[in-house]
Chain A
Amino acid sequence: MNLLSTLSLLAEAGSLFFTPSNSVFAPEVDNLFDLIYWISAFFFVLIVAVMVYFVVMYRRRPGHSVQPSPSHNNVLEITWSVLPSFLLVLIFVMGFTGYMNIRTPPDDAYEIHVYAKKWSWLFQYPNGAESSDLHIPVGRPVRFILESEDVIHNMFVPAFRTKMDCVPGRYNEIWVLADHSTGTGIKDEDHEPTWLFCAEYCGRDHSNMKAKVFVHETGDFDAWVAKAANLYEGRTMAEVGELLYKRKGCISCHSIDGTRKSGPSFKGGFGTAHKMADGSEVVMDENYIRESIRDPRAKVVAGYEPVMPVFPSSRLSDKDITAISEFIKSLK
């Protein structure tokens, strides 16, 4: 992007200091920013003007000499200490009220769980849908419940004028009410999304830990979230299985390339016999996979600790397990 096109873009956008906003509390933040900006500009220009004027007027030159003037004046000094305090109190109070708006979600807000981890975002919607970009409805308060799985991250959406740390071991929350959509339709291509950044340094890919924010028209959002909850539409069983393998965390213990992790690798495992801790041999088939998910301790492969958690049907339906089996089957 070159300088000229940037300048013309800025002229259109109206302000050098703001990015377009998309939340009901943004105008209040921007107004306070503007107010502080003008107060600062006033004092800055005043100070620099006086300084330059003095330097020019009283510069050392032949024939010019110091003129007497008092070296203190309590009235003056107390005045210029006290008067600015009123402005500071004003700024403080406005900052405080704006903050309370940003931090106080309405009771009826739609809830989205945010899981931050190195180095990606996972958004989870009330109907069970999940996505790695953020989708929200326009005109409806949304509350985010923030969690982190490893180190501190921070969810920062410049257009919303809000950010909050995701701290491991505790829940933080923020909320937003977006005032316009980023496009119509449920396909990503129909939108001009804005950015969501991680704003708390979190290691190697900190600067790549970003997501897109889609704000949907109300009807569109319902359609999008329903479709997102239905993983099976438009995907083969094996593809769904792969998605589940990643999202549900199987990936952290079972490799698909033969590497040994805390559980056996899935590679080439289907249809072959495995030696169990109790000495028996079991062929890995659909039934064995299903049993291992629902009751992992029943048969433990020799050489591994019995550390796998139980996945009840609320976390993985029978259909999901079928998809996972198909996925494992596809790993020759």
Chain B
Amino acid sequence: MSVGATPDRFQAADVDGAHHREDNYLLASSGLGSWLVTLDHKRIGVMYLIGIMASFFLGGIFALVLRAELFTGQKLFLSEDAYNQMFTLHGAVMTFLFIIPSIPAALGNFMLPIMLGQKDVAFPRMNLASFYLWIIGAVFFLCAIVFGGLDTGWTFYTPYSITTSTRVILALLGVFVLGFSSIFTGLNFVVTINTMRPHGMSWFKMPLFLWALYATSIIQLLATPVLGITGLLLIAERALRIGIFDPELGGDPVLFQHFFWFYSHPAVYIMILPAMGIVSELVAVFSRKHIFGYRFIAYSSIAIALLGFLVWGHHMFVSGQSQLAAVVFSGLTFSVSIPSAIKVFNWLSTMYKGSISLATPMCYALSFIFLFTIGGLTGLFLGALSTDIQLHDTYFVVAHFHYVMMGGTLVAFVGGLYYWWPKMFGVMYNENAGRLFCLIVFLGFNLTFFPQFIMGSRGMPRRYARYVEEFQIYHQLSTMGAFLLGIGMVGAIAVLIYSLYRGKKAPANPWGAATLEWMCSSPPSLHNFEEPPAVGDPYNYDNLRYDEREGGYVVVPGAAKKTSSH
């Protein structure tokens, strides 16, 4: 029977409704084949997880090679050409293959239907198609790497990208296909959230992670087509010389930058919004406090999604765009910082008077708040026109976006992975090891990227294979940090993988969370729920109590329907 195809969603799995452990989705059917054609959102989520983690480690290896080469400032083992390819591939793999799909496609896919108390997304086949598009896109990328590489930077600026002899067209086709994958996921999520919220879950009873995914999906739907078209135009320019972007043919290279950033700045919010959603869940659960300012957080996600479309010009302050444009874009850029700041204040207020557990996911959430605050505040230096002129295209920018994308999105992603791991695989990991590697990641991260703020403001340009001696000390600190960070990341993932073999069996609700995914067994059965779960306030923990025998939280009998009054 094909999963998700039957309309009666809560058909009992067995005749008598009895539920065996073997019903869990991991064991429901076996063999590689049963995974490859599955329509189960959970299995698709797991396959995505494997794919993006592989991409992350590939991109991570590129990063460590880059950092190693930069240890001295002279040639160590990479020629200039090899270095340029390396940073391009690092950026392109991390952005297109890893960070954009990471949270929505892996964790979102797995959790979204369960958090709605449903058994699948609205269009399970489209979901599977989206995964295969991701694979095809990744294959195009790998082909580009194998057959001649790519050296344009992940931004593909013209006219360089028109003249280089590397595999621009292959990579752009990859981006194009990945774009469709992203659009499919976004469309699926929008429809699922719009039409499949259960009885009793009004918009403002929805978990904030779903608000974040909803806002993200809107950006994916509206912005990604622009990237696709830009890619096609660039392919046409290279292959047919039509004269849109190439100055030799009367085209305008700055036009390309407008097109490119019109997608790629909103893409930054595709990366960060779901991360903020995860942190909202974590902070509430591990403080056992109702999230503070629910509506403000929800609205700020939408505000960020919409304002995110109006600020792309801040990447082009020194491209020679008109001074008026620069001023307008600078002003709009600052408007995005307000909703981001609101969220930070709300998270802190949520912790007030709570009962804060420093479980591993919460450690990642705290780490996120620390790092994202630095990332966001350093955005102020870049949004202000006169300081941006000095900082543009220096290591200051590199540090800024790594604090936001890696310190923010990646850290939240790992936190979310630790949070949902017991649900996804039915096992508990070693808490102390989890926290230790979280700390190593945190220290390694700061050692890697903080020195980059300093060297950047002192004038070290980005995308440099060689540099002058005065920057050496900062590069050396940064390189040492990178290797520490690498150890931390490998360790963090190893802890999770080890738990698959040796972990204790997870209870249904180990953290005492009130969102619906914790109401089904760990791991969930094929159809998630036997009967529709009772919908309550997703942040009311009053009616949950720790149960020794279960090793997790259970609903206080008779209190299931209670919702918080506020």
Contacts and interface: CB of A to CB of B under 8 A. Distances in A.
Contacts of B331: 92
Nearest to A166: B320
B10 interface: no
26 contacts: A40-B377, A43-B373, A44-B374, A47-B348, A51-B369, A60-B288, A60-B357, A66-B355, A71-B539, A72-B294, A72-B566, A77-B345, A77-B346, A80-B342, A88-B337, A92-B331, A99-B327, A99-B386, A101-B386, A102-B389, A154-B318, A156-B393, A162-B389, A170-B247, A197-B461, A201-B157
B289 interface: yes
Contacts of B462: 199
B454 interface: yes
Given A72-B294, A206-B464, A67 B386 contact: no
Contact of B159 (A159, A168, A206): A168
B560 to A, nearest CB: 20
Contact of A198 (B295, B354, B461): B461
A319 interface: no
A135 interface: no
Contact of B84 (A33, A70, A151, A206): A206
Contacts of A252: none
Given A95-B388, A152-B160, 12 more contacts: A1-B472, A58-B287, A59-B356, A66-B288, A66-B289, A71-B290, A91-B383, A152-B159, A163-B389, A164-B318, A165-B318, A199-B394
Among all A-B residue pairs, the 10 with the closest Cβ atoms:
A158-B459, A98-B386, A95-B384, A169-B247, A99-B385, A207-B464, A40-B377, A71-B290, A172-B320, A95-B385
Given A167-B320, A169-B252, A207-B80, A156 B352 contact: no
B356 A60 contact: yes
A80 B342 CA distance: 7
Given A40-B378, A201-B157, A170 B461 contact: no
A36 interface: yes
A84 B369 CA distance: 18
A198 B539 CA distance: 52
A208 B320 CA distance: 24
Interface residues of B, number: 92
Given A71-B289, A88-B337, A199-B392, A55 B469 contact: no
A67 B393 contact: no
A88 B334 contact: yes
Interface of B: 80-81, 84, 151, 153, 157, 159-160, 163-164, 247-248, 252-254, 287-296, 318-320, 323, 326-327, 330-331, 334, 337-338, 341-342, 344-346, 348-349, 351-358, 366, 369-370, 373-374, 377-378, 380-381, 383-390, 392-394, 453-454, 457-459, 461-470, 472-473, 539, 541, 564, 566
Contacts of B247: 167-170
B450 to A, nearest CB: 11
A71 B539 CA distance: 10
Interface in A85-116: 85, 88-89, 91-92, 94-103
A169 B253 CA distance: 9
Contacts of B289: 66, 69, 71
Interface string A30-70: 00110011011001100110110011001110001111111
Contacts of B378: 40
Nearest to B469: A1
Contact of A17 (B293, B345, B458, B472): B458
Please indicate which of the listed interface residues B157, B247, B374, B387 has the most CB atoms of chain A within 10 Å of its own CB: B387
A204 B318 contact: no
Contacts of A96: 327, 330, 385-386
Interface in A12-28: 16-19, 25, 28
A195 interface: yes
Interface of A: 1-3, 6, 16-19, 25, 28-29, 32-33, 36-37, 39-40, 43-44, 47-48, 50-51, 54-55, 58-60, 64-73, 76-77, 80-81, 84-85, 88-89, 91-92, 94-103, 150-152, 154, 156, 158-159, 161-165, 167-170, 172, 195, 197-208, 210
A168 B163 CA distance: 13
A154 to B, nearest CB: 7
B463 A207 contact: yes
A47 B296 CA distance: 19
B465 A207 contact: yes
A168 B157 CA distance: 13
A204 B81 contact: yes
A48 B319 contact: no
A112 B383 CA distance: 30
Contacts of A71: 289-294, 539, 564, 566
Contact of A154 (B330, B393, B470, B564): B393
A101 B385 CA distance: 11
Please indicate which of the listed interface residues A60, A97, A164 has the most CB atoms of chain B within 10 Å of its own CB: A60
Contacts of B457: 17-19, 33
A69 B352 contact: yes
Contact of A201 (B254, B353, B388, B463): B463
A203 B165 CA distance: 11
A96 B386 CA distance: 7
Contacts of B291: 71
Contacts of B292: 71-72
A25 B461 CA distance: 21
B26 to A, nearest CB: 31
A71 B473 CA distance: 47
B201 to A, nearest CB: 18
A150 B163 contact: yes
A18 to B, nearest CB: 7
Contacts of B296: 72, 77, 81
A208 B80 contact: yes
A33 B390 CA distance: 10
Contacts of A154: 318, 393
Nearest to A198: B461
Please indicate which of the listed interface residues A51, A71, A156, A197 has the most CB atoms of chain B within 10 Å of its own CB: A71
Contacts of B370: 48, 51
A70 B564 CA distance: 11
B319 A151 contact: no
A142 to B, nearest CB: 17
Contacts of A161: 386, 389-390
Contacts of A51: 348, 351, 366, 369-370
A66 B289 CA distance: 7
B355 A60 contact: yes
Nearest to B540: A71
Nearest to B286: A60
Given A81-B342, A208-B80, A91 B334 contact: yes
Contacts of A92: 330-331, 334, 383-384
Contacts of A203: 84, 151, 160, 164
B237 to A, nearest CB: 14
A99 B389 CA distance: 8
B345 to A, nearest CB: 5
A129 to B, nearest CB: 26
B386 A47 contact: no
A32 B380 CA distance: 11
Nearest to A13: B458
B401 to A, nearest CB: 15
Nearest to B331: A92
B566 A68 contact: no
B430 to A, nearest CB: 19
